[in-house]
Amino acid sequence: MKQAKYTIQSFNKQFPNNEACLKYLFESLHKDAVCPTCKQSGKYHLQAFTSHFVCSCGGHQISPKQGTIFEKSSTDLYKWFFAMYLFSTAKNGVSAKELERQLGVTYKCAWRMAYQIRQLMEQMPDIFGGIVEADETYIGGKRKGKRGRGAEGKTPVVGLHKRGGGVYAKATVNTKASTVMAIVRENVQVGATLMTDEYQSYGKASKMGYKHETVNHGRKEYVKGEAHTNTIEGFWSQLKRSIDGTHHSISPKHLQKYLDEHVWRWNLRTADEHLFHLLLQVVSA
């Protein structure tokens, strides 16, 4: 299904200034707030030159940013909302340098904003059933020497894709059977059909209660009946293009946040609502 159209003109019409963003956040989080002093609701208004809403009785105030990713930030909420809009419209992600240019903030501020926005995209626990593709890849800068499995200086990532559903990706320390199958067990329902390549780490899948089908990539076999890992490999391709083209390199320490972002974007690519509004909903949850 095609995602709802929401252009930069739409954004500027809905959020023309900082005040509009503050009012939206207040309405989302505190619409029916009752003043503990006068015991009435619907009497709050934005106090001039602040980000606080004050009851007309003067006895209570509310900061709509409290408890959100904006709480400790002195940056205008308009810039935060615009950064979230950029994240929602950029297929390959947004770098901190790009935020720095677009928002007119320091690089340190832009990096922190990007980090906080990615917090909203954290992968939620889910158990995949049915047919699930499993595969692993390696993320890191280009280096001389061995490529692929066992390459030095790269961070392994294990990925799962439920046919007709979403993707899950997790950065790991290695791709040993104990590591890979622990991730499978945590996220794939026992009895599901697991589609993998010939990598030996998946060798005990059948003994663990999964229906295990494989394709042998080493022999140029990529599809065997319903068995293939093409979808999760397509996700890897998109992820690596995004990292190489937008971020160039990512430290292992922060890699999971970037994985979360790309999984979030992939899983919601056919959502009815625009991704910007879905981000706003997470903020307001």
What is the pLDDT, as a whole number, of residue 124?
87
What is the pLDDT, as a whole number, of residue 149?
55
Measure Cα distances from 20 to 48, 55, 220 in Å. 13, 18, 57
Strand partners of residue 41: 34
For 279, the token pair is 């981000």
Cα–Cα distance measured from residue 117 to residue 55, given in angstroms and rounded to the nearest whole number: 30
Residues of the chain with pLDDT > 90, as a percent, come to: 87
Cα–Cα distance measured from residue 88 to residue 94, given in angstroms and rounded to the nearest whole number: 9
What is the pLDDT, as a whole number, of residue 199?
96
What is the pLDDT, as a whole number, of residue 245?
86
Query: Which residues, 6 or more positions from 117, have their beta carbon under 8 angstroms from its beta carbon?
Result: 69, 83, 84, 87, 279
Cα–Cα distance measured from residue 226 to residue 259, given in angstroms and rounded to the nearest whole number: 27
For 75, the token pair is 């940056």
Residue by residue, DSSP assigns 58-70 as SS-EE-TTTTSTT
What is the pLDDT, as a whole number, of residue 216?
95
Tell me the per-residue pLDDT of 10-55, one tens digit each, with 9 for 90 and over: 999 999 999 999 999 999 999 899 999 999 999 999 999 999 999 9
Cα–Cα distance measured from residue 255 to residue 2, given in angstroms and rounded to the nearest whole number: 30
For 172, the token pair is 């790991």
Phi, psi angle pair for 31, to nearest 5°: -55, -45
From 3.40.640.10, 3.30.420.10, 3.30.390.30, 2.120.10.30, which CATH number describes the 131-262 domain?
A: 3.30.420.10
Question: Which of 243, 242, 238, 148 is CA-nearest to residue 197?
Answer: 148
What is the pLDDT, as a whole number, of residue 1?
45
pTM of the predicted protein model: 0.90
Query: Which residues, 6 or more positions from 219, have their beta carbon under 8 angstroms from its beta carbon?
Result: none
CATH 3.30.420.10 domain position(s) in the chain: 131-262
In single-letter form, the type of residue at position 116 comes to: Q
Question: Which of 53, 45, 95, 103 is CA-nearest to residue 77?
Answer: 103
Strand partners of residue 224: 227
What is the pLDDT, as a whole number, of residue 138?
95
* Strand order, beta sheet including 53-55: 44-46, 53-55, 61-62
Name residues of the chain where pLDDT drops below 70.
1-4, 141-152
For 191: left if phi > 0, alpha if psi spans -120 to 50, otherwise beta; the answer is left
Residues 111 and 96 sit within 8 Å (Cβ to Cβ): yes
